[in-house]
A and B are shown apart, each in its own frame.
Chain A
Amino acid sequence: MKIWKTALCAAALALATGTAALAARTDLVVGVVLEPPHLDPTAGAAAAIDEVLYANVFEGLTRIGPNGEVLPDLAESWTVSDDGKVYTFKLRTGVKFHDGSDFGADDVKFSLDRARAENSENAQKGLFAAIDAVEVVDPATVKVTLKHPQGSFLYNMGWGDAVIVSPKSAATNKEKPIGTGPFKFQNWAKGASITLVKSDAYWGEPAFLDKAEFRIIPDAAAAVPAMLSGDVQAFPFFPPDAVAQIKDDQNLKVVVGSTEGETILAMNNKKPPFDQLKVRQAVSYALDRQAIIDGASGGLGVPIGSHMPPSNKAYVDLTGRYPHDVEKAKELLKEAGLENGFKTTLKLPPPPYARDGGEIIASQLREVGIDAEIIPVEWAQWLDQVFTKKDYDLTIVSHTEPNDIDIYSRPDYYFNYQNPEFNKVIDELNLTSDEAKRTELLQQAQKILADDAPVGFLFELPKVGVWDAKLEGMWQNAPIQANDLTKVKWLD
Chain B
Amino acid sequence: MTAYLAKRLAIAAATLVLASVVVFAVLEVVPGDPARLMLGMNASAEQVEQLRTQMGLNDPLLLRYLHWAGGILRLDFGRSYTYSVPVIDLVRERVIVSLPLALIALALSTAIALPVGLYAASRHGRMGDTLAMGATQFGVAVPNFWFALLLVYLFAVWLRWVPAGGFPGWSAGVGPALKALALPAVALALPQAAILARVTRSALVEVLSEDFIRTARAKGLPWRAVLWRHALRNALIPVVTIMGLQFAFLLAGTVIIENVFYLPGLGRLVFQAITQRDLIVVESVVMLLVASVIVVNLIVDLSYALVDPRLRHGR
Contacts and interface: CB of A to CB of B under 8 A. Distances in A.
Nearest to B180: A192
A33 B152 CA distance: 19
Given A45-B42, A380-B32, 18 more contacts: A44-B40, A119-B50, A123-B42, A125-B44, A189-B93, A189-B169, A191-B269, A217-B165, A219-B259, A231-B163, A378-B32, A379-B275, A380-B34, A381-B32, A383-B33, A385-B31, A387-B41, A401-B41
Contact of A44 (B38, B163, B259, B265): B38
Interface residues of B, number: 52
A478 B259 CA distance: 26
Nearest to B262: A217
B264 to A, nearest CB: 3
B204 to A, nearest CB: 38
B302 interface: no
Given A231-B166, A380-B276, A222 B40 contact: no
Interface in B143-179: 145, 149, 152-153, 156-157, 160, 163-167, 169
A388 B165 contact: no
Given A191-B268, A192-B166, A378 B275 contact: yes
A384 B277 CA distance: 11
Interface of B: 30-34, 36-45, 47-48, 50-51, 82-85, 90, 93-94, 145, 149, 152-153, 156-157, 160, 163-167, 169, 259-265, 268-269, 272, 275-277
A229 interface: yes
Nearest to B259: A219
Interface in A268-310: none
B32 A225 contact: no
Interface in A219-245: 219, 221-222, 225-226, 228-231
Contacts of A380: 30-34, 37, 275-277
Contacts of A339: none
A124 interface: yes
A225 B264 contact: no
A446 B41 CA distance: 22
A381 to B, nearest CB: 5
Given A218-B259, A383-B41, A384-B36, A225 B169 contact: no
B37 A383 contact: yes
Contacts of A230: 160
A218 B164 contact: no
A45 B31 contact: no
B65 to A, nearest CB: 21
A192 B167 contact: yes
A471 to B, nearest CB: 18
A340 B132 CA distance: 61
Given A217-B165, A218-B259, A381-B32, A190 B90 contact: yes
Interface in A375-420: 378-381, 383-385, 387-388, 401, 412
Contacts of B276: 37, 380
B36 A383 contact: yes
Given A216-B262, A219-B259, A380-B277, A226 B165 contact: yes
B47 A125 contact: yes
A219 B149 CA distance: 12
Interface string A202-226: 0000000000000111110110011
A37 B264 contact: no
A105 B59 CA distance: 41
Contacts of A189: 93, 167, 169, 264
Given A38-B83, A125-B47, A221-B145, A381 B37 contact: no
Contact of A225 (B93, B153, B269): B153
A199 to B, nearest CB: 23
Contact of A226 (B36, B39, B83, B164): B164
Given A222-B165, A225-B152, A45 B264 contact: no
A222 B268 contact: no
A377 B48 CA distance: 21
A222 B275 contact: no
Given A384-B36, A385-B31, A192 B163 contact: no
A473 interface: no
A37 B38 contact: yes
Given A221-B149, A384-B33, A388-B36, A229 B262 contact: no
Contact of A215 (B44, B153, B262): B262
A480 to B, nearest CB: 14
B40 A46 contact: yes
B259 A388 contact: no
Interface in A33-50: 35, 37-38, 44-46
Given A191-B269, A231-B164, A385-B31, A222 B262 contact: yes
B42 A219 contact: no
A229 B161 CA distance: 10
B40 A45 contact: yes
A337 interface: no
Given A126-B42, A189-B264, A225 B156 contact: yes
20 contacts: A37-B82, A44-B39, A45-B43, A123-B42, A123-B43, A125-B43, A125-B44, A126-B42, A175-B85, A189-B93, A190-B264, A191-B94, A222-B152, A222-B260, A225-B157, A228-B164, A229-B156, A381-B31, A384-B33, A387-B41
A225 B85 contact: no
Given A218-B259, A222-B259, A387-B41, A229 B33 contact: no
Contact of A219 (B38, B83, B260): B260
A37 B83 contact: yes
A258 to B, nearest CB: 21
Contacts of B39: 44-45, 123
Contacts of B164: 222, 225-226, 228-229, 231
B36 A229 contact: no
Given A38-B82, A218-B259, A384-B36, A225 B268 contact: no
Contacts of B259: 218-219, 222
Contacts of B47: 125
A253 interface: no
Nearest to A44: B38
A148 interface: no
A366 B275 CA distance: 32
Interface in A111-134: 119, 121, 123-126
Contacts of A38: 82-84
A193 interface: yes
B177 to A, nearest CB: 11
A118 to B, nearest CB: 9
